[in-house]
């Protein structure tokens, strides 16, 4: 990626982080990036295109930084611990604010909504890979769809991220950790009992 394009992408993210998405314009982006505002249109045609590209590029980079760590997760508690680490990194980098602003902007801008959805899907895909590995052989394997569960996990995490300014999510993650540790520690017999119980519950609900 060219240096000017990179500076513009960093510029729009920096503008959102500092002033919110309503402050985004060719002028404010250029001022943050330290370039002429005409370059916004030269490289991206429009501010909307730059916003969409910035959303995808920066998310791809963050996902890539965590990809190896996702691949190393071997338990539900490990996945939760990685989620906590991810949250801390995102909070320190100011990306929680950017996410909230992007989601707010997506409510009114179809192009940004598409880009934000694609960015969130990048995280969902990584989570789904982990869940497929963790669910293999578990009491929940035949009862849960990894794709749907990954979307639920991602949506829950996004919700927790946005809730952070009101109530810190640390205690919530601690409580979830206790729950998933119980699942991780189940022995073979207990797993069979849980599997049978869950199957019976699902059958009754479907009847």
SS3 (DSSP) at 39 = helix
What stretches of the chain adopt beta strand conformation (E)?
A: none
State the burial class of residue 136 (Cβ atoms within 10 Å of its Cβ: 0-12, 13-18, 19+): exposed
Of residues 161, 160, 126, the one with CA closest to residue 146: 126
Query: What pLDDT does 80 receive?
Result: 80
- In the chain, % of residues over pLDDT 70: 73
Residue 177 in this model has a pLDDT that exceeds 60: no
186, pLDDT greater than 90: no
The reported pTM is: 0.76
* Backbone φ, ψ for residue 129 (5° rounding): -55, -45
Weakest mean pLDDT among 5-19, 29-43, 127-141, 155-169: 155-169
Burial of 48 (0-12, 13-18, 19+ CB in 10 A): middle
Tokens 């996702």 belong to 70
174-185 mean pLDDT? 58
């Amino acid at each position: 990626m060219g240096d000017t394009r990179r500076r513009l992408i960093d510029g729009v993210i920096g503008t959102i982080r500092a002033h919110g998405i309503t402050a985004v314009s060719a002028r404010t982006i250029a001022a943050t990036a330290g370039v002429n505002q005409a370059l916004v249109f030269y490289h991206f045609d429009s501010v909307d295109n730059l916003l969409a590209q910035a959303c995808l590029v920066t998310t791809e980079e963050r996902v890539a930084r965590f990809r190896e760590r996702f691949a190393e997760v071997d338990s539900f508690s490990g996945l939760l611990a990685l989620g906590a680490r991810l949250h801390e990194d995102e909070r320190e980098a100011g990306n929680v604010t950017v996410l909230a602003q992007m989601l707010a902007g997506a409510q009114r801008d179809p192009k940004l909504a598409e880009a934000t959805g694609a960015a969130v899907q990048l995280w969902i895909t990584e989570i789904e890979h982990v869940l497929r590995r963790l669910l293999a052989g578990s009491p929940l394997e035949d009862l849960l769809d990894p794709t749907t569960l990954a979307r639920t996990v991602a949506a829950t995490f996004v919700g927790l991220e946005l809730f952070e300014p009101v109530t810190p999510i640390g205690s919530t993650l601690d409580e979830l950790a206790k729950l998933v540790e119980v699942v991780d520690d189940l022995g073979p017999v207990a797993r069979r009992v849980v599997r049978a119980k869950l199957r019976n519950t699902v059958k009754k609900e479907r009847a």
